[in-house]
Chains A and B, each alone.
Chain A
């Protein structure tokens, strides 16, 4: 399990399950899904009734509260109430599959209802926090959802057996119906729910083995597709409330800057503008609609006191980082043998500096939050990966108790880590304290790109010594960059090491006798946050590029070189071989007229999944890179919905390619220099390669699929560029580095 997973999902410490009568009739099963171990959470959650849904749960073990529920009503309809959010990754489809499998109901009978924000109800009260992130949704739900389904089924079968006065083992459950095999008598689940709800909760129900699965592992259509093709799906930006106004926002373009006085009259002169709201570092213009608000903000033309960071440039940030990483040692994340000593004495050694840029998330739906703040309560309408953190932020600003703050969560128009942050919610609520009625706060694309919380800039110094056969004897990797974990989940810092910043570096799978990995925390005044693929996206690029350098320096085939070093992991080797075979590694690439062609490979273990990729590229005389084909081999354990897995890998590859080819956020005079898709380029359909996903069949526990595609692609791409041109890309993005 990766570092971010550890930070985002609590250890599955105790499994608890409760049952009782649902309000309004039916059977209610309450159980716990791991949430987030926000160990910085100070106060224990208030002791209080856990709400309408559970008041009837009678058999709760003391001190334990469920955070997910299955309700089966008298019509046999099954409702799963969970806190996970759908941001494109298919969770809303995969989770009902896990229930349907063990409950023995048709998948169409399982509806999913998103839980409101309430840490006391919907997350582990000892650890707190509702989080969707770290490719954890299916992994964290894998056992508890199936157990809950199996428990409900067992109780329904028992209820039927009791009414027939037969042994439950002589009954079977299929498709929402219990059958007494010998007599052929049947009862539907809906007829049994009330009787079942009075039975004791069985313990130790047996789960199906993989060979018995009828739902899991079969391709299933996404349940959110119909509403997403007809315009009915509601995203946060689509909220409309009675008497709602629309505002757009400008925040200080320089981190830490303050708003200078503004003349409201300039904005108020625009028809439809209703109000100007100001906070310390930002201003919002409220209007009847977005057009009035935008024109009002343009007319207002706010100015700023830039403060201490007014001279900040990317060059100054990188110079500081580079100097620090040269002069200082980092905290050791791993230290096997004597890597520095071995490299110091070696006759054959390589060293390199790799750099990765600040990156914006650029979700298609810009940041937005609708606030209806009243003296006695607050309604928030938004899309967030962390409803409970949003609730906490609102409480802090308004002073309202948590139970007076309702987070109404919507489909996310992309998450990618951006909506793990609640800055846009906090800002909207701060403005709303001055507003006269509900306001939808909408960031423009420019505001969204320039006020993101960015993937950190990383500067990595890496070196290795080679033996006479060209194999690495020592490996030294010093990572320098800001720490997201130290801010987001300080309790997850381990002896000064940010486990996310070293993920994919600390745990390299290659058999090298001397390894040291260091983490040097360096905080430029730029807000940073998780970005799809998190630590692995940074480190897999560095590790898989540098291992490629070693292979070439040793005049060995990059595939054979990796294979020789992967003596410890059969699953790593298996995906490597599968990707290579399917890509035709070692065969001649189809020539492309006027262009140099090349093939590159990468392999990783990240997010609980094994993945190898082979990229085929061509490079033109102008230095432009075209990616023709990406062959992926994936072992993600037991597949839940194979269709979603393929889609997520395709998505991850294109997301990673976009960044590796083109994306960087840069600063000048303290300001972000990019502003919209014109200078923060997104891949388009004509640039999307052919992507193949080949699966290794496995019955192991499911691994994550939302992020591996992203973390594996940059090194495969850059290794292919090297094969084509002999140019080693050590700094992302590729941009125009290959020109001339």
Chain B
């Protein structure tokens, strides 16, 4: 029965150790902002932060994050970079269907937090693992640049 810290709260979940974090978050902890897209780390919809690093929760067993800090989209506004990213996303209306955007925002936040002034190549590198079927990529790129320029 692993104990996880999710969005700053310690929780013991009655789940098997090998259960992917994605399902523990969605089906057990009730945090549905993290999305299921592919189940095999190909699309990035399930991206969360584990000790600040963007992580595909669909292939990460809960046992691997025991004792670590898991942050999901529901709490990303507590992260200064996350707030800037969310504001930039709203400012230029990145979202369309919106399903992949939790994962996009988690990846973008981790990028901005580690590289305050990312180049196009940095953006490609950090974001290429996140698929958007609505093709909002031009606005994702623009929003990341806006977020990078915003005051924390």
Q: 1/0 contact trace for B4-27 toward A, CB 8 Å? A: 000000000001100110011011
A290 at the interface (CB under 8 A from B): yes
Nearest-Cβ distance from residue A438 to partner chain B, whole angstroms = 14
The answer on a CB contact under 8 Å between B26 and A290 is yes
Given A230-B73, A230-B74, A234-B32: A364 and B97 interface contact (C-beta under 8 Å): yes
Contacts of B61-112 to chain A: CB distance below 8 A: 72-74, 76-77, 86, 89-90, 93-102, 105
B148 at the interface (CB under 8 A from A): no
The answer on a CB contact under 8 Å between A654 and B28 is no
Nearest-Cβ distance from residue B116 to partner chain A, whole angstroms = 19
Neighbouring B residues of A225 by C-beta, 8 Å = 89-90, 93-95
Q: Which of A222, A271, A414 contacts B99 (CB 8 A)?
A: A414
Neighbouring A residues of B97 by C-beta, 8 Å = 87-88, 363-365, 411-415
Neighbouring A residues of B43 by C-beta, 8 Å = 364, 677, 682
Q: Which of B27, B34, B128 contacts A246 (CB 8 A)?
A: B27
The answer on a CB contact under 8 Å between B98 and A655 is no
The answer on a CB contact under 8 Å between B135 and A688 is yes
Q: 1/0 contact trace for A226-240 toward B, CB 8 Å? A: 101111111101101
Neighbouring B residues of A658 by C-beta, 8 Å = 135
B1 at the interface (CB under 8 A from A): no
A685 at the interface (CB under 8 A from B): yes
Q: Which of B28, B34, B90 has the most CB of A within 10 A?
A: B90
The answer on a CB contact under 8 Å between A88 and B134 is yes
The answer on a CB contact under 8 Å between A233 and B19 is no
Contacts of A646-703 to chain B: CB distance below 8 A: 647-648, 650-655, 658, 676-678, 682-686, 688, 690-691
Task: Tell me, in angstroms, the Cα distance from A651 to B136 when the chains sit together.
Answer: 6
Q: Which of A231, A271, A415 contacts B33 (CB 8 A)?
A: A231
Interface of B (DSSP majority class): loop
The answer on a CB contact under 8 Å between B90 and A289 is no
Given A222-B95, A271-B16: A651 and B32 interface contact (C-beta under 8 Å): no
Nearest-Cβ distance from residue A636 to partner chain B, whole angstroms = 17
The answer on a CB contact under 8 Å between B133 and A363 is yes
Task: Tell me, in angstroms, the Cα distance from A655 to B134 when the chains sit together.
Answer: 7
Given A289-B27, A691-B138: A229 and B93 interface contact (C-beta under 8 Å): no
Neighbouring B residues of A413 by C-beta, 8 Å = 35, 97-99
The answer on a CB contact under 8 Å between B36 and A228 is no
Given A229-B101, A231-B102: A690 and B138 interface contact (C-beta under 8 Å): yes
Q: 1/0 contact trace for A555-590 toward B, CB 8 Å? A: 000000000000000000000000000000000000
Q: Which of A231, A652, A678 contacts B34 (CB 8 A)?
A: A231
Task: Tell me, in angstroms, the Cα distance from A676 to B40 when the chains sit together.
Answer: 9
The answer on a CB contact under 8 Å between A222 and B93 is yes
The answer on a CB contact under 8 Å between A224 and B95 is yes
Neighbouring B residues of A222 by C-beta, 8 Å = 93, 95
Neighbouring A residues of B28 by C-beta, 8 Å = 289
Neighbouring A residues of B100 by C-beta, 8 Å = 364
A444 at the interface (CB under 8 A from B): yes
Neighbouring B residues of A362 by C-beta, 8 Å = 133
Neighbouring B residues of A291 by C-beta, 8 Å = 15-16, 19-20, 23-24, 27
Q: 1/0 contact trace for B115-142 toward A, CB 8 Å? A: 0000000011001111111111111110
The answer on a CB contact under 8 Å between B32 and A364 is no
Q: Which of A89, A237, A415, A445 contacts B38 (CB 8 A)?
A: A445
Task: Tell me, in angstroms, the Cα distance from A2 to B134 when the chains sit together.
Answer: 23
Q: Give the number of residues in B that approach A within 8 Å (Cβ atoms).
A: 59
Contacts of A334-352 to chain B: CB distance below 8 A: none
Neighbouring B residues of A230 by C-beta, 8 Å = 33, 73-74, 76-77, 86
Nearest-Cβ distance from residue A184 to partner chain B, whole angstroms = 38
Task: Tell me, in angstroms, the Cα distance from A683 to B132 when the chains sit together.
Answer: 8
The answer on a CB contact under 8 Å between A235 and B86 is no
The answer on a CB contact under 8 Å between A650 and B39 is no
Q: Which of B31, B98, B124, B138 contacts A650 (CB 8 A)?
A: B138
Task: Tell me, in angstroms, the Cα distance from A600 to B67 when the chains sit together.
Answer: 56
Nearest-Cβ distance from residue A88 to partner chain B, whole angstroms = 3
The answer on a CB contact under 8 Å between A289 and B23 is yes
The answer on a CB contact under 8 Å between A228 and B98 is yes
**Nearest B-chain residue to A684, judged by Cβ:** B128
Nearest-Cβ distance from residue B142 to partner chain A, whole angstroms = 11
**Nearest A-chain residue to B130, judged by Cβ:** A685
A637 at the interface (CB under 8 A from B): no
The answer on a CB contact under 8 Å between A364 and B99 is yes
The answer on a CB contact under 8 Å between B98 and A411 is yes
**Nearest B-chain residue to A220, judged by Cβ:** B93
Neighbouring B residues of A650 by C-beta, 8 Å = 135-136, 138-139
The answer on a CB contact under 8 Å between B96 and A647 is yes
Q: Which of B26, B30, B36 has the most CB of A within 10 A?
A: B36
Neighbouring B residues of A364 by C-beta, 8 Å = 35, 37, 43, 45, 97, 99-100, 131-133
Task: Tell me, in angstroms, the Cα distance from A643 to B124 when the chains sit together.
Answer: 24
Task: Tell me, in angstroms, the Cα distance from A502 to B45 when the chains sit together.
Answer: 37
A266 at the interface (CB under 8 A from B): no
The answer on a CB contact under 8 Å between A647 and B32 is no
A366 at the interface (CB under 8 A from B): yes
Q: Which of B23, B76, B132, B133 has the most CB of A within 10 A?
A: B133
The answer on a CB contact under 8 Å between A647 and B139 is yes
The answer on a CB contact under 8 Å between B74 and A231 is yes
**Nearest B-chain residue to A650, judged by Cβ:** B138
Q: Which of A229, A366, A690 has the most CB of B within 10 A?
A: A229
The answer on a CB contact under 8 Å between A685 and B124 is yes
Neighbouring B residues of A676 by C-beta, 8 Å = 38-40, 42
Neighbouring B residues of A688 by C-beta, 8 Å = 135, 137-138, 141
The answer on a CB contact under 8 Å between B32 and A240 is yes
**Nearest A-chain residue to B98, judged by Cβ:** A228
A487 at the interface (CB under 8 A from B): no
Q: 1/0 contact trace for A382-425 toward B, CB 8 Å? A: 00000000000000000000000000000111111000000000
Nearest-Cβ distance from residue A360 to partner chain B, whole angstroms = 11
Nearest-Cβ distance from residue B95 to partner chain A, whole angstroms = 4
Neighbouring A residues of B139 by C-beta, 8 Å = 647, 650
Task: Tell me, in angstroms, the Cα distance from A690 to B33 when the chains sit together.
Answer: 30
Nearest-Cβ distance from residue A128 to partner chain B, whole angstroms = 27
Neighbouring B residues of A416 by C-beta, 8 Å = 133
Q: What are 30 A-B contacts with C-beta separation under 8 Å?
A: A89-B96, A222-B95, A225-B94, A225-B95, A228-B95, A228-B98, A229-B105, A230-B77, A231-B32, A233-B98, A246-B27, A271-B16, A272-B16, A288-B27, A291-B27, A364-B35, A364-B100, A364-B133, A365-B35, A411-B98, A413-B97, A445-B38, A445-B40, A647-B96, A651-B134, A676-B39, A685-B137, A686-B124, A686-B128, A688-B141
Residues of B within 8 A of A (CB): 15-16, 19-20, 23-24, 26-28, 30-40, 42-43, 45, 72-74, 76-77, 86, 89-90, 93-102, 105, 123-124, 127-141
Nearest 5 A/B pairs, CB to CB: A231-B33, A654-B135, A413-B99, A88-B97, A88-B96
